[in-house]
Amino acid sequence: MSEKKVAVAGSSSLERLVPDDIVPGESTGETTLDLHLARYKWAATAIKNDDSVCRILDAACGVGYGSAILGSCKHNAEVTGVDIDAAAISYALERYGASSINFIHSDISEIQCRAYFDAIVSLETIEHVTDPLNTINSFWKLLRPGGLFILSVPVTPSVDVNPYHLTDFSAISIRKMLKSAKFEVVDELVQVQRFNPIKILSKQESRVEDMRDKLLWYYMKNPSAGIKRVYSTIRFGFSNRYITLACRKVGQAY
């Protein structure tokens, strides 16, 4: 594994975390990276404790640091990291490349496999796709019977602030979606990220430069989004909440 810093197109942004470029002390930078690392380590522990898991898919792997964590969880782990961003995959190959990890540039909806995966990890992914249930169903088809599926989503509003997010989830709605896709939740990790609203709204942190502009105008055009934001702030304060769920595939392969 190379230890040198590698340039990557776009660097760290609202939608791309590059550990080498993180600014210390920023909630959207260092704190967000810590949350991502904790999710991957939690997923790695779940995989390590499953004697049958060896073939792992890291769907929407980004620049590959999570794939590296998954690849080190078992001596026989074989990880396939897939991302739609070609620059991110190039970075991953140089920075985190290893004999046990194969990085592929592809849309996750077009993933093909010769044999079923034993585990699929997809963290902070399905809020970006136009049809989350269809994506989850696609993962179901790629898993062996009884296989492990680990995903995470924000469960406080994010669509209003992040123009790349297409769906807001709650802890209840994501569980219902997984159940309808024939997954059984077996464990969960809940994370809370507190933030300074002044720093975020004034874009004082480096990773929020591409946050949605004219937010007040957006709320005027989408009043339900404003209502959700007010309710979330009253209930949880100035914080983002995330849930990571470990699930088992129910039923046989197609």
CATH fold, domain 22-194+240-249, is Rossmann fold (3.40.50)
In 68-99, which positions are buried (b, 16+ CB within 10 angstroms) versus exposed (e)?
A: bbbbbbbeebbbbbbbebebbbbbbbbbbbee
**Confidence (pLDDT) at 101:** 95
**Ramachandran assignment for 251, one of left (phi > 0), alpha (psi -120 to 50 degrees), beta (any other):** left
Token pair belonging to 53 = 């898991």
**Confidence (pLDDT) at 28:** 66
Rounded to two decimals, the pTM is 0.90
CA distance 64 to 176: 30
**Confidence (pLDDT) at 7:** 41
Tell me the average confidence (pLDDT) per consecutive run of 10 residues in the chain, 254 residues long: 37 68 70 93 94 90 95 91 94 91 90 84 96 95 95 97 95 98 97 90 77 92 97 96 97 65
**Confidence (pLDDT) at 6:** 37
Domain ranges for the chain, please list them. Answer: 22-194+240-249
**With helix as H, strand as E and coil as C, how does 92-110 read?**
HHHHHCECCEEEEECCHHH
**Confidence (pLDDT) at 13:** 59
Q: Which of 65, 109, 69 minimizes the C-alpha distance to 91?
A: 65
**Confidence (pLDDT) at 197:** 87
**Confidence (pLDDT) at 27:** 64
